[in-house]
Chains A and B, each alone.
Chain A
Amino acid sequence: MRTIHQLFGKSPFEPLVAHTEKVAEAADLVRPLFDSYVVGDFKRCNEIYGEISQVEHDADTIKEDIRDHLPRYLFLPVDRGDIILYVRQQDHIADAAEDVAMLITLRDMETPEPFRTLLLKLVDEVVTAADLLLVAGKEMAALLESSFGGPEVDKVRGLVKEVANQESQADETQHKTAKALLSPDCELDPVSISLWMHAIQVLGNLANAAENTGDVLRTMMARR
């Protein structure tokens, strides 16, 4: 009688980590994107945009795969809804990375100072927030091993808190960047300003998505 193996359903946690890794890839392309942009290497920017799109698409496929494999008869160590919410929020990070790449490659724009410095600072903070979250996400295997409790949880909680700090930092920088862009000294044309405003907004969304994903992670651990 060979029943035992039928007890084990397809774990959603392995694809969850695979999704995290894909999203991390997308987030890590945002810095090089802006670095190339500010020096006027628009050709390189278009290439990076293509790469981000590809990675975002891969992440989407994994996301759908996770959703398709969460039937109700599976008993999971965390709430089923939390897993779905988690991938959705995490996916928003990749979406935002793709959106911002799409926006800035619409038009070859100037980045006059002090706007440029602030913009790069904003990019740095936003990407750091995402990176921290993704480090936390990759702890999933260890969380699973300790069944979402113990010191492992403290570690992840610490990371999630840092994500939140980084996000509020980014909020502040976002405000300053927008102000610099809209100041009367800024010599950009109105269309560029409008497009940049939009791009800054999307960068903010990226950090928000990271924070929201962190919140879901926290809920997962709190329901223990």
Chain B
Amino acid sequence: MSPTTIVLILGIIAAFYMAWNIGANDVANAMGTSVGSGALTLAGAVVIAGIFEFAGATLVGSHVTETIRKGILEVSLFQPDSPLLGEDGPTILMLGMVAALLAAGVWLQIATSFGLPVSTTHSIVGAVIGFALVAVGKSAISWGTVGTIAASWVISPILGGLLAASMFIFVTRFVLRADRPIEATMRIGPHLIALVFFILVLSFIYKALKNVVAEPTWWFVLLTATATAAVGWVLGRAWLRSSRPGDPDNPFDYVERVFAKLQIVTAAFVAFAHGANDVANAVAPAAAVVQVARYGTLPDQLPVPFWILVLGGVGIVIGLATWGYKVIATVGRKITELTPSRGFSAEFGAATTVLIASRLGMPVSTTHTLVGAVIGVGLARGLAALDLRVVGKIVNSWLVTLPVGAALSAFFFLILRAIFL
């Protein structure tokens, strides 16, 4: 077996492991609340998460993958004609990407066993930067892109919080504080379903249509999204009409029961957005490895191979099925304080933000965004007691993850280089 093949296999295994890890540990945040509120059974949550994670990864996953694969690094420095690295450039890139995957995987394993709130995204970005610093130096990194990514890590929880708070204030104003909350729920519910459908479809329809229609125009895309939203509205209305209204003296029981169902839609939405953003953490380095192995260079023009996104999606689903369901059950038991009306608002804010970030190719942390969203709901006075110490923990996890991910990656890179070069 040639060294290239060994590195390639190593890269794919590491990528698969990362995808497994994402499915095992990260999906729980999206589905836990719905299981906790009893809206979904554990099995139902696993099925929905599996479908939407996979769909998100394959339909929208390419944007962020592009960024991690070649946006963070000055790829031209790693081409065979590079004056700095010479002919070894592509191999160094390949080894580095494998090192980054190993580093992120090991760090996540350590962090999880210590219960640290570490982001997969931050680990992999730190790791890619780490090997490049050792392999080439400061010049190998597109600091502009890295700066934008760092900014997106601050902006995404804030935006998630703002959107979630706005949604919660809307729900409070028009449902929870309505004179007749039951009737208000029946009236507003379909609109909320339609809104989620609209955003969800809008995020991937362009890509999906491209396979059918050569160049879909914006109005066609908009029309399709609107049509889907209308279908959601009609279905939602029919379902709410058929639902059993509760005791008028205790309207919030009914309201929360309906929101528990609506939350299934937003949980699927979060799973979709999560797949779209986080699959890149596993497959982007692998995509670079595969392409270098195949072409001897990192082709600038070629898109990410679709099968690699599928591989990532499958890895996430397997992680979910083999381990993730346990984590979902645990998270579900612990967050019963997040009642459906609150959970709906938080998930809406988080998923919308993550999806926007994904479309812009920004690798953000889904969990941090969701944390921001829950804080948003809390600050809008939706929660009985919001523990603000989490903010400090998240800042700490950042400060630790970036250097540790980078150092581990540099360490693995040096070993791999010693073996293969």
- Please report A residues at the B interface, Cβ cutoff 8 Å: 1-14, 73-78, 142, 144-152, 224
Contacts and interface: CB of A to CB of B under 8 A. Distances in A.
Contact of A3 (B338, B384, B390): B390
A146 B385 contact: no
B378 A7 contact: yes
Given A145-B176, A148-B381, A8 B117 contact: no
B293 interface: no
Interface stretch (B24-32, B72-80, B260-268, B351-359): B24-32
Given A3-B368, A7-B374, 17 more contacts: A1-B25, A1-B29, A1-B367, A4-B374, A8-B335, A9-B385, A12-B385, A14-B384, A74-B386, A74-B388, A75-B388, A76-B384, A76-B386, A77-B381, A142-B252, A147-B172, A151-B177
B188 interface: no
Nearest to A3: B117
A5 B28 CA distance: 11
A4 B331 contact: yes
A4 B337 contact: no
Contacts of A9: 384-387
B385 A147 contact: no
A14 B256 CA distance: 18
27 contacts: A1-B25, A1-B117, A1-B120, A2-B327, A3-B29, A4-B32, A4-B335, A6-B117, A6-B390, A7-B383, A7-B387, A8-B337, A8-B338, A9-B384, A11-B384, A12-B384, A13-B384, A73-B388, A74-B387, A77-B381, A145-B176, A145-B339, A146-B177, A147-B176, A148-B381, A149-B172, A149-B177
Contacts of B41: none
Contacts of A146: 172, 176-177, 252
A78 B381 CA distance: 8
Contacts of A224: 381
What size tier do the contact residues of chain B reach?
35 or more
B331 to A, nearest CB: 6
What 5 pairs across the A-B complex have the smallest Cβ distances?
A: A150-B177, A11-B384, A9-B385, A5-B334, A77-B381
With most chain B CB atoms within 10 A of its CB, the pick from A2, A74, A151 is A2
A150 B173 CA distance: 8
Nearest to A78: B381
Interface of B: 25-26, 28-29, 32-33, 111-112, 115, 117-120, 172, 176-179, 252, 256, 327, 330-331, 334-335, 337-339, 341, 365, 367-368, 370-371, 374-375, 378-390, 393-394
With most chain B CB atoms within 10 A of its CB, the pick from A5, A73, A142, A224 is A5
B338 to A, nearest CB: 7
Contacts of B25: 1-2
A2 B375 CA distance: 15
Contacts of A147: 172, 176, 380-382
Given A3-B367, A8-B335, A149-B172, A76 B385 contact: yes
A4 B367 contact: yes
Nearest to A77: B381
Contacts of A2: 25, 28-29, 115, 117, 327, 330-331
B83 to A, nearest CB: 41
A126 B178 CA distance: 34
Given A1-B117, A1-B120, A3-B371, A8 B387 contact: yes
Contacts of B386: 7-9, 74-76
Contacts of B334: 5, 8
A31 B43 CA distance: 55
A55 B72 CA distance: 66
A77 B117 contact: no
Nearest to A148: B381
A77 to B, nearest CB: 4
Contacts of A150: 172, 176-178
